[in-house]
Amino acid sequence: MRITIPEDFLPSIKNKHLLLDTCVFIDALLNPGEFGGLFETLRNNGIILVTIEPVLIEFVQGTFDEKKMNDKKEFIDTFVESYLPIPKTLFTNIERLLLEYREDGKGLSMTDLILGAMLMQFPSNLLLLTKNTTEFPTNIFTLSTHMNLLHRKGIHSYGVYYYESKK
Amino acid sequence: MQEENKLPVIVIKKKIDKLKLEKLAKKIKKYFEEEERYLGKTREQNENNYSRGFFTLY
């Protein structure tokens, strides 16, 4: 597998906080060499890798015992700098977001709603890296850049999104 | 909404330990495989329970 990034990828996210979705952890698990290299490049460009606890919960749910759960957390800790605190206004933001999603909001997972609400809380400063591109429509979020995973069979795309305050 | 819209200041401390990442990835992949097998078995058991018929259970 190879990760490809366009020329604008690093300049678009340089010195910003990059919020990682669960799919990043899964792909990093399956391709640790390539993702290790990507994380190092991001770090060297001042990009701060963060996540939130609901994403961690998605990653660890179904774990058999405490030792295995701690191993999963340790895996994330090798590249995530910090967990962003969940703001008090989160559910207010989720409601506002659902009004923007309208009928597209049906079937969204709670984690995706929380991720969207986090982007809303920190407009233009917090970016989200996710493969769930159908859950972050561009009439609500701005697609800043993208990257591709070139597999032997198939190409998977990640989008980098942020939320712009609407006036 | 106006309060709390500043991201916390985070200093990049971590050096990416690629060897550790790969070692942990190998271990955790096996955990996910175990979990999938368990999930597969549970689904099968639930299907078998229902196929005996709801009324025969109660």
Each residue's pLDDT tens digit, A115-166:
999 999 999 889 999 999 999 999 999 999 999 999 999 999 999 999 998 7
For residue B53, pLDDT beyond 70: no
**pTM attached to this predicted model:** 0.89
pLDDT confidence bin for B42, thresholds 50/70/90: confident
A161 - beta bridge partners? A128, A143
Q: Is residue A79 packed enough to be buried (19+ CB in 10 Å), middle (13-18) or exposed (0-12)?
A: buried
DSSP symbols for A12-40: HHTTSEEEEPHHHHHHHHH-HHHHHHHHH
Specify the range with the lowest mean pLDDT, choosing from A35-44, A113-122, B43-52: B43-52
pLDDT of residue A128: 98
Best to test chain A binding among B6, B11, B21 (most A CBs inside 10 Å)? B21
For residue B11, pLDDT beyond 80: no
Q: How far is B58 from chain A (nearest CA, A)?
A: 30
B contacts of A81 (beta carbons < 8 Å): 10, 12-14
Q: What are the tokens at A89? A: 């206004």
A74 and B24 Cβ atoms separated by less than 8 Å: yes
Distance CA B40, CA B45 (A): 9
In the stretch 28-87 of chain A, residues with CB closer than 8 A to chain B read 28-30, 32-33, 35-37, 39-40, 43, 46, 48, 50, 62-64, 68, 71-72, 74-75, 78-79, 81-82, 84-85, 87
For residue A111, pLDDT beyond 50: yes
Best to test chain A binding among B17, B18, B43 (most A CBs inside 10 Å)? B18
pLDDT confidence bin for B2, thresholds 50/70/90: very low
Query: Do the strands A2-4 and A142-150 form a parallel or antiparallel pair, or are they unpaired?
Result: antiparallel
